[in-house]
C-alpha cells in the first residue's frame, strides 16, 4: 500500500491559459490531458497539479475535494481507510484513467484516491 503521487487540485473555467501558466511556473510540460465527458470536465496534469476545467455546475460536485492521491492499490486503501473511520462518499468506480473513490477523512478533509490503469500509470512515471 503506497501513495505514488499527491496532486493538488486546481479548479478552472478555461484550461488552456491555466495550463500554460502552470507549465511556465513549474518548467515542465503537461503529462496528461483528457476529456471526462461523463461528468462534463476536462482534466490536465502538470507536475503535482491536477487542473479540472468545466462550467460552475459541472465543477460543483468536486469542489470540496482538496487533493488527489495516486495509489498502487485502491482496494488496500479502501480497507485501511474504512478501518480508520473514513467515510466513502463516491466509488470505488471505473473512470477513464482506471478506478477511483472519494473519501472523507476523520478531520473532514475530502480526498480522491485513484489507481491508474497501466497506460496512465506509465504516463505518470515519465
Domain 3-125 part of CATH 2.40.50.460: no
pLDDT at 8: 96
- Which residues are CB-contacts of 38 (< 8 A; sequence separation ≥ 6)? 96
17 φ/ψ angles, rounded to the nearest 5 degrees: -70, -40
Q: Where are the domains of the chain?
A: 3-125
pLDDT at 123: 56
Q: Tens digits of per-residue pLDDT, 5-54?
A: 999 999 999 999 999 999 999 999 998 899 988 899 999 999 999 999 99
Rounded Cα gap, residues 88 and 23, in angstroms: 33
pLDDT at 60: 96
Q: Tens digits of per-residue pLDDT, 96-123?
A: 889 999 999 999 999 999 998 866 655 5
- Which residues are CB-contacts of 119 (< 8 A; sequence separation ≥ 6)? none
pLDDT at 96: 84
Amino acid at each position: 500500500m503506497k501513495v505514488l503521487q499527491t496532486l493538488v487540485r486546481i479548479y478552472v473555467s478555461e484550461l488552456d491559459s491555466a495550463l500554460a501558466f502552470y507549465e511556465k511556473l513549474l518548467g515542465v510540460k503537461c503529462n496528461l490531458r483528457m476529456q471526462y465527458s461523463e461528468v462534463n470536465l476536462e482534466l490536465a496534469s502538470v507536475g503535482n497539479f491536477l487542473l479540472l476545467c468545466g462550467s460552475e455546475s459541472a465543477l460543483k460536485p468536486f469542489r470540496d475535494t482538496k487533493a488527489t492521491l495516486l495509489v498502487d492499490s485502491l482496494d488496500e486503501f479502501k480497507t485501511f481507510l474504512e478501518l480508520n473511520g473514513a467515510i466513502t462518499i463516491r466509488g470505488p468506480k471505473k473512470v477513464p484513467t482506471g478506478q477511483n473513490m472519494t473519501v472523507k477523512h476523520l478531520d473532514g478533509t475530502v480526498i480522491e484516491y485513484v489507481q491508474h490503469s497501466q497506460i496512465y500509470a506509465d504516463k505518470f512515471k515519465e
